[in-house]
Amino acid sequence: MAQAQAFEKKQMRTPIESGCPDGMQFMHPLMVKNFGNWKYHDRPRPGVLHHVAYSGDEIWTVRVGTQRQLGPYEINLLCDIVDKYGEGHVRFTIRSNLEVMVSKWEKVGPLIQAFNDAGYPVGGTGNSVTMISHTQGWLHCDIPGTDASGVVKSLMDELYEEFIKEEMPNRVHITTSCCQINCGGQGDIAINVQHTKPPKINHDLVANVCERPSVVARCPVAAIRPAIVNGKPSLEVDEKKCICCGACYPPCPPMQINDPEHSKLAIWVGGKNSNARSKPMFQKLVAAGLPNNPPRWPEVAAVVKKILYTYKKDARDWERVGDWVERIGWPRFFELTGLPFTKFHIDNWRGARNSLNASAHIRF
Ligand code: SF4
Ligand code: SF4
Protein backbone atom coordinates (compact mmCIF):
# COMPACT_ATOMS: atom_id res chain seq x y z
CA MET A 1 0.00 0.00 0.00
CA ALA A 2 2.80 2.33 0.93
CA GLN A 3 4.45 1.70 -2.41
CA ALA A 4 1.22 2.41 -4.30
CA GLN A 5 0.84 5.75 -2.52
CA ALA A 6 4.43 6.60 -3.27
CA PHE A 7 3.77 5.83 -6.92
CA GLU A 8 0.72 8.12 -7.05
CA LYS A 9 2.79 11.02 -5.76
CA LYS A 10 5.68 10.31 -8.09
CA GLN A 11 5.68 11.94 -11.50
CA MET A 12 5.91 9.77 -14.60
CA ARG A 13 9.43 9.70 -15.92
CA THR A 14 10.23 11.99 -18.84
CA PRO A 15 9.87 10.22 -22.18
CA ILE A 16 13.20 9.41 -23.79
CA GLU A 17 14.04 8.90 -27.40
CA SER A 18 14.50 5.16 -27.13
CA GLY A 19 12.90 2.55 -24.90
CA CYS A 20 9.30 1.86 -24.03
CA PRO A 21 7.05 4.24 -22.07
CA ASP A 22 6.41 3.79 -18.35
CA GLY A 23 4.02 0.85 -18.06
CA MET A 24 2.39 2.04 -14.80
CA GLN A 25 0.27 4.61 -16.62
CA PHE A 26 -1.42 1.86 -18.67
CA MET A 27 -2.09 -0.56 -15.80
CA HIS A 28 -5.51 -1.51 -14.50
CA PRO A 29 -6.28 0.87 -11.56
CA LEU A 30 -6.59 -2.08 -9.15
CA MET A 31 -3.10 -3.20 -10.07
CA VAL A 32 -1.67 0.26 -9.52
CA LYS A 33 -3.47 0.53 -6.19
CA ASN A 34 -2.11 -2.83 -4.96
CA PHE A 35 1.30 -2.65 -6.60
CA GLY A 36 3.76 -4.73 -4.56
CA ASN A 37 1.07 -5.77 -2.08
CA TRP A 38 -0.27 -9.05 -3.41
CA LYS A 39 -1.03 -11.78 -0.86
CA TYR A 40 -1.37 -14.81 -3.14
CA HIS A 41 -2.45 -15.92 -6.60
CA ASP A 42 -3.99 -19.05 -8.09
CA ARG A 43 -5.48 -20.30 -11.35
CA PRO A 44 -9.24 -21.03 -11.27
CA ARG A 45 -9.05 -22.58 -14.79
CA PRO A 46 -6.53 -22.81 -17.66
CA GLY A 47 -5.88 -19.37 -19.10
CA VAL A 48 -7.12 -17.42 -16.05
CA LEU A 49 -4.94 -15.99 -13.25
CA HIS A 50 -6.50 -14.77 -10.01
CA HIS A 51 -4.58 -12.35 -7.75
CA VAL A 52 -5.67 -11.40 -4.22
CA ALA A 53 -4.19 -8.34 -2.50
CA TYR A 54 -3.63 -7.69 1.22
CA SER A 55 -6.30 -4.97 0.89
CA GLY A 56 -8.86 -7.65 -0.05
CA ASP A 57 -9.01 -6.51 -3.70
CA GLU A 58 -9.15 -9.28 -6.29
CA ILE A 59 -8.32 -9.22 -9.98
CA TRP A 60 -8.67 -11.84 -12.72
CA THR A 61 -6.42 -11.95 -15.77
CA VAL A 62 -7.57 -13.76 -18.92
CA ARG A 63 -4.71 -14.89 -21.19
CA VAL A 64 -5.49 -15.06 -24.90
CA GLY A 65 -3.37 -16.54 -27.70
CA THR A 66 -2.94 -14.39 -30.80
CA GLN A 67 -1.69 -15.11 -34.30
CA ARG A 68 1.42 -12.99 -33.52
CA GLN A 69 1.38 -10.60 -36.48
CA LEU A 70 -1.66 -8.44 -35.88
CA GLY A 71 -3.08 -6.07 -38.50
CA PRO A 72 -5.51 -3.18 -37.86
CA TYR A 73 -8.52 -5.51 -38.33
CA GLU A 74 -7.36 -7.94 -35.61
CA ILE A 75 -6.32 -5.17 -33.23
CA ASN A 76 -9.69 -3.43 -33.58
CA LEU A 77 -11.51 -6.74 -33.09
CA LEU A 78 -9.56 -7.56 -29.92
CA CYS A 79 -9.92 -4.03 -28.52
CA ASP A 80 -13.69 -4.04 -29.17
CA ILE A 81 -13.99 -7.27 -27.15
CA VAL A 82 -11.90 -5.79 -24.33
CA ASP A 83 -14.03 -2.60 -24.29
CA LYS A 84 -17.32 -4.52 -24.35
CA TYR A 85 -16.60 -7.45 -22.00
CA GLY A 86 -13.48 -6.31 -20.11
CA GLU A 87 -12.56 -3.08 -18.39
CA GLY A 88 -10.47 -1.44 -21.10
CA HIS A 89 -7.06 -2.62 -19.88
CA VAL A 90 -4.81 -5.07 -21.74
CA ARG A 91 -1.17 -5.95 -21.90
CA PHE A 92 0.98 -8.17 -24.10
CA THR A 93 3.26 -10.77 -22.54
CA ILE A 94 6.78 -11.39 -23.83
CA ARG A 95 5.37 -14.37 -25.74
CA SER A 96 2.72 -12.15 -27.41
CA ASN A 97 -0.22 -13.41 -25.41
CA LEU A 98 -2.86 -10.78 -24.81
CA GLU A 99 -3.82 -10.43 -21.12
CA VAL A 100 -7.08 -8.76 -20.13
CA MET A 101 -7.69 -7.74 -16.49
CA VAL A 102 -11.14 -7.60 -14.89
CA SER A 103 -12.20 -6.89 -11.30
CA LYS A 104 -15.16 -9.32 -11.14
CA TRP A 105 -15.25 -13.10 -11.57
CA GLU A 106 -18.67 -12.78 -13.28
CA LYS A 107 -16.99 -10.96 -16.18
CA VAL A 108 -14.52 -13.80 -16.88
CA GLY A 109 -16.96 -16.27 -18.53
CA PRO A 110 -18.49 -13.83 -21.08
CA LEU A 111 -15.00 -12.46 -21.87
CA ILE A 112 -13.66 -15.96 -22.65
CA GLN A 113 -16.76 -16.75 -24.70
CA ALA A 114 -16.35 -13.57 -26.76
CA PHE A 115 -12.68 -14.38 -27.51
CA ASN A 116 -13.52 -17.98 -28.40
CA ASP A 117 -16.37 -16.85 -30.67
CA ALA A 118 -13.92 -14.58 -32.49
CA GLY A 119 -11.52 -17.54 -32.94
CA TYR A 120 -9.01 -16.69 -30.20
CA PRO A 121 -8.05 -19.41 -27.68
CA VAL A 122 -7.73 -18.78 -23.94
CA GLY A 123 -4.92 -20.70 -22.22
CA GLY A 124 -1.13 -20.69 -22.03
CA THR A 125 -0.91 -20.76 -18.22
CA GLY A 126 0.56 -23.37 -15.86
CA ASN A 127 1.55 -26.73 -17.34
CA SER A 128 0.50 -25.92 -20.89
CA VAL A 129 2.44 -25.35 -24.08
CA THR A 130 2.43 -21.61 -23.80
CA MET A 131 2.62 -19.34 -26.83
CA ILE A 132 5.72 -20.08 -28.88
CA SER A 133 8.19 -17.20 -28.92
CA HIS A 134 9.80 -16.21 -32.17
CA THR A 135 12.41 -13.83 -33.51
CA GLN A 136 11.43 -11.13 -35.93
CA GLY A 137 11.60 -12.98 -39.22
CA TRP A 138 10.90 -11.47 -42.61
CA LEU A 139 8.68 -8.77 -41.13
CA HIS A 140 11.35 -6.69 -39.39
CA CYS A 141 14.88 -8.11 -39.74
CA ASP A 142 17.19 -8.00 -42.74
CA ILE A 143 19.02 -11.34 -42.36
CA PRO A 144 16.48 -14.09 -41.60
CA GLY A 145 16.66 -17.46 -43.31
CA THR A 146 13.02 -18.28 -42.57
CA ASP A 147 9.80 -16.67 -41.43
CA ALA A 148 10.01 -17.50 -37.71
CA SER A 149 6.51 -16.16 -37.01
CA GLY A 150 5.09 -18.36 -39.79
CA VAL A 151 6.66 -21.46 -38.23
CA VAL A 152 5.06 -20.41 -34.93
CA LYS A 153 1.58 -19.86 -36.36
CA SER A 154 1.54 -23.21 -38.14
CA LEU A 155 2.88 -25.03 -35.05
CA MET A 156 0.42 -23.33 -32.69
CA ASP A 157 -2.40 -24.50 -34.96
CA GLU A 158 -1.10 -28.06 -34.46
CA LEU A 159 -0.69 -27.63 -30.68
CA TYR A 160 -3.97 -25.75 -30.05
CA GLU A 161 -5.27 -28.35 -27.58
CA GLU A 162 -2.07 -28.19 -25.53
CA PHE A 163 -2.42 -24.40 -25.26
CA ILE A 164 -5.96 -24.44 -23.88
CA LYS A 165 -5.29 -27.32 -21.41
CA GLU A 166 -2.75 -27.73 -18.63
CA GLU A 167 -1.87 -31.37 -19.17
CA MET A 168 1.91 -31.32 -19.62
CA PRO A 169 4.26 -32.51 -16.81
CA ASN A 170 5.45 -28.90 -16.47
CA ARG A 171 5.25 -25.76 -18.59
CA VAL A 172 6.70 -26.09 -22.09
CA HIS A 173 8.44 -23.15 -23.73
CA ILE A 174 9.01 -23.53 -27.45
CA THR A 175 11.12 -20.98 -29.32
CA THR A 176 12.05 -20.33 -32.92
CA SER A 177 14.94 -18.42 -34.42
CA CYS A 178 15.42 -17.32 -38.01
CA CYS A 179 19.23 -17.10 -38.08
CA GLN A 180 21.89 -19.06 -36.28
CA ILE A 181 23.68 -16.30 -34.45
CA ASN A 182 21.51 -13.57 -33.01
CA CYS A 183 18.31 -13.24 -31.04
CA GLY A 184 17.08 -16.83 -30.51
CA GLY A 185 16.69 -18.00 -26.92
CA GLN A 186 16.93 -21.19 -24.90
CA GLY A 187 13.76 -23.28 -25.03
CA ASP A 188 12.42 -26.65 -23.91
CA ILE A 189 12.13 -27.23 -27.65
CA ALA A 190 13.76 -24.78 -30.09
CA ILE A 191 13.48 -24.58 -33.87
CA ASN A 192 16.47 -22.76 -35.34
CA VAL A 193 17.72 -22.01 -38.83
CA GLN A 194 20.76 -24.00 -39.84
CA HIS A 195 22.83 -23.02 -42.88
CA THR A 196 24.59 -25.94 -44.50
CA LYS A 197 26.75 -24.27 -47.20
CA PRO A 198 29.31 -21.42 -47.01
CA PRO A 199 28.19 -18.00 -48.28
CA LYS A 200 28.15 -17.25 -52.02
CA ILE A 201 30.05 -14.03 -52.65
CA ASN A 202 28.96 -11.39 -55.16
CA HIS A 203 32.45 -9.99 -55.83
CA ASP A 204 31.16 -7.00 -57.84
CA LEU A 205 29.42 -5.58 -54.77
CA VAL A 206 31.80 -6.32 -51.88
CA ALA A 207 34.02 -3.24 -52.32
CA ASN A 208 30.99 -0.91 -52.57
CA VAL A 209 28.96 -2.32 -49.69
CA CYS A 210 31.24 -3.96 -47.12
CA GLU A 211 33.87 -2.73 -44.73
CA ARG A 212 36.26 -5.60 -45.37
CA PRO A 213 38.31 -5.55 -42.12
CA SER A 214 35.17 -5.70 -39.98
CA VAL A 215 33.83 -8.61 -42.06
CA VAL A 216 37.14 -10.47 -41.63
CA ALA A 217 36.98 -9.79 -37.88
CA ARG A 218 33.42 -11.13 -37.65
CA CYS A 219 34.33 -14.69 -38.62
CA PRO A 220 34.63 -16.88 -35.50
CA VAL A 221 36.98 -19.38 -37.20
CA ALA A 222 39.12 -16.93 -39.23
CA ALA A 223 37.91 -18.34 -42.54
CA ILE A 224 37.65 -14.98 -44.38
CA ARG A 225 40.58 -13.29 -46.08
CA PRO A 226 40.82 -10.10 -48.16
CA ALA A 227 41.35 -10.89 -51.85
CA ILE A 228 41.45 -9.15 -55.24
CA VAL A 229 38.92 -10.74 -57.59
CA ASN A 230 38.54 -9.56 -61.23
CA GLY A 231 40.77 -6.62 -60.35
CA LYS A 232 38.47 -5.43 -57.54
CA PRO A 233 39.00 -5.61 -53.76
CA SER A 234 36.86 -8.41 -52.39
CA LEU A 235 36.90 -11.27 -49.88
CA GLU A 236 37.39 -15.01 -50.06
CA VAL A 237 36.28 -17.82 -47.78
CA ASP A 238 38.27 -20.89 -46.85
CA GLU A 239 35.42 -23.35 -47.23
CA LYS A 240 37.22 -26.09 -45.29
CA LYS A 241 37.23 -23.86 -42.21
CA CYS A 242 33.80 -22.23 -42.63
CA ILE A 243 31.20 -23.51 -40.14
CA CYS A 244 28.31 -21.87 -42.08
CA CYS A 245 27.31 -19.73 -39.11
CA GLY A 246 26.16 -16.75 -41.18
CA ALA A 247 27.94 -14.13 -39.05
CA CYS A 248 29.53 -12.51 -42.13
CA TYR A 249 26.19 -11.94 -43.89
CA PRO A 250 24.75 -9.11 -41.70
CA PRO A 251 27.76 -6.76 -42.11
CA CYS A 252 28.23 -7.80 -45.75
CA PRO A 253 25.02 -8.76 -47.61
CA PRO A 254 26.96 -9.66 -50.81
CA MET A 255 28.11 -12.73 -48.81
CA GLN A 256 24.71 -14.33 -49.29
CA ILE A 257 24.20 -17.40 -47.10
CA ASN A 258 20.41 -17.77 -47.18
CA ASP A 259 19.52 -20.39 -49.73
CA PRO A 260 16.13 -21.92 -50.56
CA GLU A 261 17.62 -25.42 -50.63
CA HIS A 262 20.62 -25.34 -48.30
CA SER A 263 19.20 -23.27 -45.42
CA LYS A 264 17.50 -25.87 -43.24
CA LEU A 265 15.83 -26.03 -39.84
CA ALA A 266 17.25 -27.83 -36.81
CA ILE A 267 15.56 -28.80 -33.55
CA TRP A 268 17.19 -28.44 -30.15
CA VAL A 269 15.79 -29.55 -26.79
CA GLY A 270 16.32 -29.14 -23.06
CA GLY A 271 17.15 -25.43 -22.70
CA LYS A 272 15.73 -23.37 -19.86
CA ASN A 273 16.42 -19.96 -18.38
CA SER A 274 14.81 -20.48 -15.00
CA ASN A 275 16.61 -21.36 -11.75
CA ALA A 276 13.55 -23.23 -10.42
CA ARG A 277 14.30 -26.77 -9.17
CA SER A 278 17.46 -27.09 -11.31
CA LYS A 279 19.98 -24.68 -12.76
CA PRO A 280 19.51 -23.13 -16.21
CA MET A 281 20.42 -25.44 -19.08
CA PHE A 282 21.65 -25.07 -22.64
CA GLN A 283 19.58 -26.79 -25.29
CA LYS A 284 21.14 -29.62 -27.36
CA LEU A 285 20.75 -30.47 -31.05
CA VAL A 286 18.50 -33.48 -31.71
CA ALA A 287 17.37 -33.15 -35.33
CA ALA A 288 19.06 -31.39 -38.24
CA GLY A 289 18.55 -30.79 -41.95
CA LEU A 290 14.74 -30.47 -41.82
CA PRO A 291 13.32 -28.72 -44.90
CA ASN A 292 12.53 -25.01 -44.56
CA ASN A 293 9.12 -25.61 -46.05
CA PRO A 294 6.61 -22.71 -45.90
CA PRO A 295 3.76 -22.06 -45.45
CA ARG A 296 3.10 -24.89 -42.92
CA TRP A 297 6.50 -26.54 -42.22
CA PRO A 298 4.95 -30.05 -41.85
CA GLU A 299 8.29 -31.87 -41.35
CA VAL A 300 9.20 -29.59 -38.43
CA ALA A 301 5.74 -29.97 -36.87
CA ALA A 302 6.01 -33.77 -37.05
CA VAL A 303 9.34 -33.84 -35.16
CA VAL A 304 8.21 -31.29 -32.55
CA LYS A 305 5.03 -33.27 -31.87
CA LYS A 306 6.98 -36.51 -31.60
CA ILE A 307 9.27 -34.99 -28.93
CA LEU A 308 6.44 -33.23 -27.11
CA TYR A 309 4.14 -36.24 -26.82
CA THR A 310 7.00 -38.56 -25.80
CA TYR A 311 7.81 -36.07 -23.03
CA LYS A 312 4.14 -35.84 -22.01
CA LYS A 313 3.89 -39.63 -21.73
CA ASP A 314 7.23 -40.40 -20.09
CA ALA A 315 8.18 -37.45 -17.85
CA ARG A 316 7.40 -37.29 -14.14
CA ASP A 317 5.28 -34.50 -12.68
CA TRP A 318 7.10 -31.13 -12.68
CA GLU A 319 10.01 -32.29 -14.84
CA ARG A 320 10.88 -29.78 -17.56
CA VAL A 321 11.98 -31.31 -20.89
CA GLY A 322 15.68 -30.89 -19.95
CA ASP A 323 15.16 -32.46 -16.49
CA TRP A 324 13.41 -35.41 -18.10
CA VAL A 325 16.26 -35.98 -20.59
CA GLU A 326 18.87 -35.65 -17.80
CA ARG A 327 17.06 -38.36 -15.83
CA ILE A 328 16.53 -40.87 -18.64
CA GLY A 329 19.78 -40.08 -20.50
CA TRP A 330 20.30 -39.08 -24.14
CA PRO A 331 20.48 -42.66 -25.51
CA ARG A 332 17.01 -43.35 -24.06
CA PHE A 333 15.72 -40.01 -25.42
CA PHE A 334 16.67 -41.03 -28.97
CA GLU A 335 15.21 -44.53 -28.44
CA LEU A 336 11.88 -43.21 -27.14
CA THR A 337 11.45 -40.48 -29.75
CA GLY A 338 12.68 -42.64 -32.63
CA LEU A 339 14.90 -39.78 -33.87
CA PRO A 340 18.10 -40.94 -35.57
CA PHE A 341 21.32 -40.31 -33.62
CA THR A 342 24.43 -39.40 -35.65
CA LYS A 343 28.01 -38.42 -34.85
CA PHE A 344 27.05 -34.77 -35.49
CA HIS A 345 24.98 -34.79 -32.30
CA ILE A 346 28.04 -35.19 -30.09
CA ASP A 347 29.04 -31.89 -28.49
CA ASN A 348 32.59 -32.25 -27.26
CA TRP A 349 33.32 -28.57 -26.60
CA ARG A 350 34.18 -28.09 -22.93
CA GLY A 351 35.16 -24.40 -22.84
CA ALA A 352 31.89 -23.29 -21.25
CA ARG A 353 32.71 -25.07 -18.00
CA ASN A 354 35.38 -22.49 -17.25
CA SER A 355 34.24 -19.41 -19.07
CA LEU A 356 30.44 -19.12 -18.92
CA ASN A 357 28.50 -18.36 -15.79
CA ALA A 358 25.39 -20.38 -16.60
CA SER A 359 23.54 -20.12 -13.31
CA ALA A 360 22.50 -17.67 -10.62
CA HIS A 361 23.02 -20.41 -8.00
CA ILE A 362 25.71 -19.51 -5.46
CA ARG A 363 28.86 -21.54 -5.97
CA PHE A 364 32.08 -21.65 -3.95
S1 SF4 B 1 17.16 -14.45 -35.14
FE2 SF4 B 1 18.56 -13.46 -36.60
S3 SF4 B 1 17.41 -13.23 -38.50
FE4 SF4 B 1 15.95 -13.63 -36.88
S5 SF4 B 1 15.27 -11.61 -36.21
FE6 SF4 B 1 16.99 -12.22 -34.86
S7 SF4 B 1 18.82 -11.35 -35.87
FE8 SF4 B 1 17.15 -11.32 -37.36
S1 SF4 C 1 29.58 -18.22 -42.50
FE2 SF4 C 1 30.56 -17.93 -40.49
S3 SF4 C 1 32.31 -19.32 -40.52
FE4 SF4 C 1 31.65 -19.08 -42.66
S5 SF4 C 1 32.88 -17.42 -43.46
FE6 SF4 C 1 30.98 -16.50 -42.71
S7 SF4 C 1 31.46 -15.87 -40.60
FE8 SF4 C 1 33.05 -17.33 -41.23
Query: Where does the pLDDT of residue 147 fall: very low under 50, low under 70, confident under 90, or very high at 90 and above?
Result: confident
The protein residue whose alpha carbon is closest to atom 2 in ligand 2 is 245
Closest CA to 121 of 208, 194, 48: 48
Nearest C-alpha neighbor of 315 from the set 301, 331, 326: 326
Report whether 190 contacts 271 (CB < 8 A): yes
pLDDT digits (tens, 9 = 90+) for 215-251: 999 998 899 999 999 999 999 999 999 989 999 999 9
Nearest CA to ligand 1 atom 4: 178
Distance 184 CA to ligand 1 centre (A): 7
Ligand 1 pocket member 182 (CB < 6 A): yes
Residues 6+ apart with CB under 8 A from 172: 128, 129, 130, 162, 188, 189, 308, 311, 320, 321
Residue bearing the CA closest to ligand 1, atom 3: 144
pLDDT over 60 (residue 1): no
Question: What digits encode the pLDDT tens for the residues 187-205?
Answer: 999 999 999 999 999 999 9
159-186 tens-digit pLDDT = 999 999 999 999 999 999 998 887 777 8
User: Which among 134, 141, 193, 195 is the best mutation to test ligand 1's pocket, defined by most ligand atoms within 8 Å of the CB?
Assistant: 141
Contact residues for 103 (Cβ-Cβ < 8 A; gap 6+): 28, 30, 57, 58, 59, 60, 87
Q: Does the C-beta of 223 come closer than 6 Å to ligand 2?
A: yes
- Ligand number nearest CA of 198 is 2
- pLDDT > 60? residue 44: yes
Q: Tell me the whole-structure pTM to 2 decimals.
A: 0.86
Task: Annotate 62-87 with b (16+ C-beta within 10 A) or e (fewer).
Answer: bbbbbebeeeeeeeebbeebbeebbb
Bridging pattern class, strands 189-195 and 174-177: parallel
Lowest-confidence region among 23-37, 218-232, 350-364 = 350-364
Instruction: Please say if the pLDDT value at position 96 is more than 60.
Output: yes
